[in-house]
Structure 1
Amino acid sequence: MRIAVTTPTGNVGRHVVAMLLRAGVRPRVLARDPGRLAPDVRREVEAVAVNQRDTKAVVAATAGADALFWVDPPSVGEDPLGDYELATASVVHAVRENGIERTVFQSSVGAEKRHGAGEIDGLAGTELALDSLGATVAHLRCGYFFTNLELQLDAVRTGVIPVILPLDQPLAWVAPRDIAEVAVTRLLSTGWSGRCVQAVHGPADLTWPQAAEIVSAAIGRPLRAERVSDDAMRNLLRTSGMADGLVEAVVGMSTGLRNGFVPEQPRTLHTTTPTTLAAWAYDVLRPQL
């Protein structure tokens, strides 16, 4: 089985690669910089240097693949939705021109809105474009990544995490490793076809105060969430060096999911995954503080 994997050093992609290797599959990994792969992994995969926004390069790199794990690469520029459109064009051409049998796309809770959710709108565009092909595709609608807390280490150290969602609004919190497990199951299975939407909600829906309490106990430090204004969050993001266009796209992911938003896929046996926030925070976050 020939499987192509994008973002192989990312939060989810690195677990996808490791799981495929344990399953006896030598994946073809598409990486902007294959040198970032761990040396032991580099020896076990077929690595191709690819810019995912270069359609011709992606089509060439995925030739002969039976299955594809696709993640739209993150944008750091002024026009993130434009960057998503370029990545979308790449995956659409690759699936169509190479006749890829199964595509697993890492999407997000909120993509079902289609418009008005900031950067998530880019993922919605990729979903729609893949759907238009009539190909076999699974859209993984993922919850809030535990690893987002690693982007806020300074805030965690100070004991206060600023958020712009209502503090009492529950979120589906999920471990990237669990997302990878769902993705690999789909990649390896030939017993499904057509369009599928698979939510990946983690073990529990948590409000920010609940999440902060869990993390605080795991890391042995006081931690609380504090709601701030949208403009205050914009200022924080600009101070971190984000371009204005990206700031709006990031803020939009929260503002677009306020006001009673409920994910299209409910929490069920099929959408619930096992890794707890407490276990992840103890094992992964605590050593970084």
Structure 2
Amino acid sequence: MIVVTTPTGKIGSQVIPHLLAAGEAVRVVARYPARLAPEVRNRVQVVTGSLDDEAVMRQALEGAESVFLVVPPSFTDNNDTEYYLRFTLPTLAAMKSQGVKRIVDVSVLGRGTDLAKKTGSITASLAKDEEIERSGVDYRALWCPALMENMLNNVQTIKQQGMFFSPSHPDLKTPQVATKDIGAMGARFLLDRTWTGQGGCAVLGPQGLSFNDMAAIMSGVLGKHVRFQQVPRDAYKAQLIQHGANEVFAQGLLDMLVAKDNGMDNVEARMPENRTPTSFHRWCGEVLKPAALG
């Protein structure tokens, strides 16, 4: 039995089909089971509740072999590290009580660098990793850069203005990864019973791209001119707050983007084992184009 958290999220939902295709028994923890795709809901066991509830996680992990952990995002919490640990500690306590020894989780690049200090959710995610390691379980982290799916946050401005915006440097090439490739990597570790100990693997996509590179690719795929516009950091932060983020989240996200501009996402070399197959061009055709033109 493999337990998957956030099964309706961008990454958790991408793990489950691989496990089912391999004939695995799968149990999911879902706050809103009705959001599960029907073809998934009918083939998995469902525990209703949140992974920050230890009783829910004890129920979910009963008789389980391993767990896939994703901390759901928050735009309004006032302490990123406390928020991440609020979801991590109950999972670890439930793993201990139920004798579950293996965990795979979604993490971030930048571990071991000064760039990852005081960078909002990046710092919090790495604190989560340290807590998992201290528990002594067998552990694999998926060290992820920016998600291609983040571009979906810009669909309206791409449709209406042919533009997308960020305070990031326009020509800095960084890795970009599709969530389906993170899901495939996570499933690979969950299905492999041979690994033990603690470690991780970067999930880097096939190539580094700048925002100007991405704009050129989008222009070709969408058949319309798209350009990237760098914006002042304070204006970007104000826009986040205007759209519902609180001060802590907005500043943390801004700090993260500054760290990425300073090279945080380029600390891991691209190698055969961490190079994932989905190109940004392919992702644009499969995901962005239907969203932008629909």
1:110 maps to 2:110: yes
CA contact (8 A) 2:175 2:265 kept: no
Q: Partners in 1 of 2:156 and 2:265 — Cα distance?
A: 30
- C-alpha displacement at 1:262, in angstroms? 5.2
- C-alpha displacement at 1:128, in angstroms? 0.3
- TM-score, with normalisation over the residues of structure 1? 0.94
The C-alpha deviation readout for 1:254-287, integer Å capped at 9, x for no partner, is 1232334354421111110111111111111111
Aligned partner (choices 160, 164, 167) of residue 164 of structure 1? 167
Aligned to 1:254: 257
Identity of aligned residues (%): 30
Q: Partners in 2 of 1:203 and 1:88 — Cα distance?
A: 31
The C-alpha deviation readout for 1:27-76, integer Å capped at 9, x for no partner, is 10111111100122111110111212222322332222101110011113
Q: Partners in 2 of 1:104 and 1:52 — Cα distance?
A: 15
Q: Partners in 2 of 1:31 and 1:129 — Cα distance?
A: 23
- RMSD of aligned alpha carbons: 1.5
AA aligned opposite 2:95: V
Aligned to 1:26: 25
- C-alpha displacement at 1:101, in angstroms? 2.5
Aligned to 1:194: 197
Aligned to 1:63: 62
AA aligned opposite 2:117: H
Residues 179, 262 of structure 1: alpha-carbon distance in 2 compared, 3 angstrom cutoff: closer
Any stretches of 5+ residues in structure 1 without a counterpart? none
CA contact (8 A) 1:53 1:83 kept: no
CA contact (8 A) 1:110 1:257 kept: no
CA contact (8 A) 2:66 2:102 kept: yes
Aligned to 1:96: 96
1:238 maps to 2:241: yes
Counterpart mapping for 1:1-289 below 5 A = 2-81=1-80, 82-113=82-113, 114-157=116-159, 158-261=161-264, 263-289=266-292
AA aligned opposite 1:61: A
Residues 173, 38 of structure 1: alpha-carbon distance in 2 compared, 3 angstrom cutoff: same
- TM-score, with normalisation over the residues of structure 2? 0.93
Q: Partners in 2 of 1:189 and 1:219 — Cα distance?
A: 39
Residues 121, 288 of structure 1: alpha-carbon distance in 2 compared, 3 angstrom cutoff: same
The C-alpha deviation readout for 1:204-248, integer Å capped at 9, x for no partner, is 111111111112211222111111111111111112122222212
- C-alpha displacement at 1:80, in angstroms? 4.8
CA contact (8 A) 1:116 1:256 kept: no
> Which stretch has the larger CA shift, 127-136 or 86-95?
86-95
Q: Partners in 1 of 2:223 and 2:242 — Cα distance?
A: 28
Q: Partners in 1 of 2:282 and 2:221 — Cα distance?
A: 8
Give the count of matched residue pairs.
288
